[in-house]
Structure 1
């Protein structure tokens, strides 16, 4: 079952148990964030780097953690599964791509990170100023998109998290 489908089911159950969006937000604020990573993000942003996120998480979770960490404004784009609060106050999570994105590579049905990277590369090429990409990955879902990088780009794999 795709991750965003699992999360959508979990959010339905959490809501059924009387938990509110504020409760979820408070839990997310307690998620461990590596201090040095926050510093590195702030430094890269201060140096003029265009920081973007490609994640199989969901927008509510990502934005909540980034805002709490004080780094939301460091990112120009967040590519992740969309989310919204329905009329009942329940968080709904939707796929970034349709499940039929027809990717033949090992990626989840709800997001093809390789396709996202490819579109970023095309967008950068249209600007006429080819920038280097540095792709940070921490799981099996990051192998394919990292293979889409060009010779001048870099992959940084999180220690002890095989791709």
Structure 2
């Protein structure tokens, strides 16, 4: 499988960790959103706000692989035409269920914010993520959220844009999580912050891209049976040793919580 390289390599940044003048030595924990923090795909869920809770075939047929962001722009335009308002969207976003065990994991992390710096990388949209996290009470847990910009125009329509442009051939045209993570680590390094270890929790193929760049000291938590997990297993078979990070699959986020608890005990 072709590996994704975007900007400065994460491994180069990691090798330079000990060289930085540090202000803190937290662990960086990165979350995905759809089907990781929440137990469904928010882009699919939002259709519950549409008339009849479905889209016309003429819209659905416009979906092209790698251009989901553009597709969702058309979906939101259609829903605006049908009279869907901000309150309708909020109702859906605020009621999306958390994944199994996720509430327990987030509670655990809220008690250890002195150790974990937490960010979120998602190909959903900022409005929906913020609505969902505020409803759960965990919005303040995240130091930074990276997702596609969204908001309401003068018509009251929900609008969506791409996060950035990039050259990664394996990620959607609008967002590469590896590029975002690389830039974030560079920014934090410039601020004098060094991370002793990175943890990455996700489920999708676009979570596999940044996980390829992690080192042997880092840990990924792919959700069992989802694309990130399947791609990791395939690489282990086809290219043993290429995937360097320890990977810990999970059905319930309680398993992630237990791993982190044991890790902290060993560090004490």
Report if TM-score (shorter chain) is over 0.5. Answer: yes
- Which residue of the partner structure matches residue 40 of structure 1? 105
RMSD of aligned Cα (Å): 1.5
Query: 2:71 and 2:106 mapped to 1: Cα distance?
Result: 30
Point out the structure with max Rg over C-alpha: 2
**Structure 1 residues 118, 43: closer, same or farther in 2, change over 3 A?**
same
Does residue 134 of structure 2 align to residue 67 of structure 1? Answer: yes
| SS of residue matched to 2:224 | coil
Q: Deviations over 1:76-106 (max 9, x none)?
A: 10011011111101111111113xx222x40
Runs of 4+ in 1 over 6 A off after TM superposition: none
Shift of 1:160: 1.6
CA contact (8 A) 1:124 1:131 kept: no
Matched, 1:158 2:223: yes
Cα shift readout 1:106-128 (whole Å, capped 9, x = no counterpart): 01110011101111222333324
Contact 1:95/1:111 (8 A) holds in 2: yes
Normalized against structure 2, the TM-score is what? 0.57
Cα offset, 1:72, TM superposition: 0.4
Q: Larger strand proportion, structure 1 or 2? A: 1
Aligned match of 2:183 in 119, 123, 127?
119
The question of whether the paired residues in 2 share the 8 Å contact of 1:11 and 1:90 is answered with: yes
* Residue in structure 2 matching 1:83, options 150, 168, 191: 150
Question: Could you give the per-residue CA deviations for residues 42-68 of structure 1, whole angstroms, max 9, x where no partner exists?
Answer: 311321211100111100111111011
* TM-score between both structures, scaled by the size of structure 1: 0.91
1:108 and 2:153 aligned: no
**5+ long unaligned stretches in structure 1:** none
Q: Which has the higher contact order (CA 8 A, sep 6+)?
A: 2
User: Structure 2 stretches of 5 or more lacking a match?
Assistant: 1-63, 229-268
